[in-house]
């Protein structure tokens, strides 16, 4: 039975697009070249800025993830292993 007055359902597309937009950015360093002090400091500042933006947007969980990543970068810079 076809209902001509109904709009087609596209909620599954909307959900997948919404999830993709909210995925955290991958900024972690993966090689020894990326662990130079200047790059690590830049990563720390970038993660802190992302955390502030996430918190301002009301996403406390994502903000905490970014703060944890910044903390990891600080440990990398100080030579502390996790």
Tell me the per-residue pLDDT of 23-71, one tens digit each, with 9 for 90 and over: 555 555 455 556 788 899 999 999 999 999 999 999 999 999 999 999 9
Query: Which pLDDT band, with edges at 50, 70 and 90, does 1 fall under?
Result: low
In a domain, 74, yes or no: yes
In a domain, 8, yes or no: no
The radius of gyration of the chain's CA atoms, rounded to the nearest angstrom, is 19
Q: What is the pLDDT of residue 37?
A: 85
Instruction: Find the domain containing 46 and state its range.
Output: 31-82
Query: What's the number of domains the chain is made of?
Result: 1
What lies within 8 Å, CB to CB, of 60 at 6+ separation is 54
Q: Distances in Å between the alpha carbon of 25 and those of 31, 47, 79? A: 18, 10, 24
pLDDT tops 70 at residue 22: no
Give the whole-angstrom CA distance, residue 15 versus residue 68.
27
Three-state secondary structure call for residue 54: helix
Q: What is the pLDDT of residue 77?
A: 87
Planar angle of CA 5, 8, 14, nearest 5 degrees: 145
In a domain, 5, yes or no: no
């Amino acid at each position: 039975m076809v209902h001509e007055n109904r709009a087609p359902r596209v909620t599954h597309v909307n959900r997948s697009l919404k999830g993709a937009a909210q995925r955290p950015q991958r900024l972690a360093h993966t090689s020894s070249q990326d662990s130079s002090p200047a790059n690590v400091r830049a990563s720390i500042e970038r993660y802190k800025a992302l955390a502030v933006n996430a918190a301002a947007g009301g996403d406390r969980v994502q903000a905490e993830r970014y703060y944890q990543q910044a903390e990891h970068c600080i440990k990398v810079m100080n030579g502390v292993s996790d």
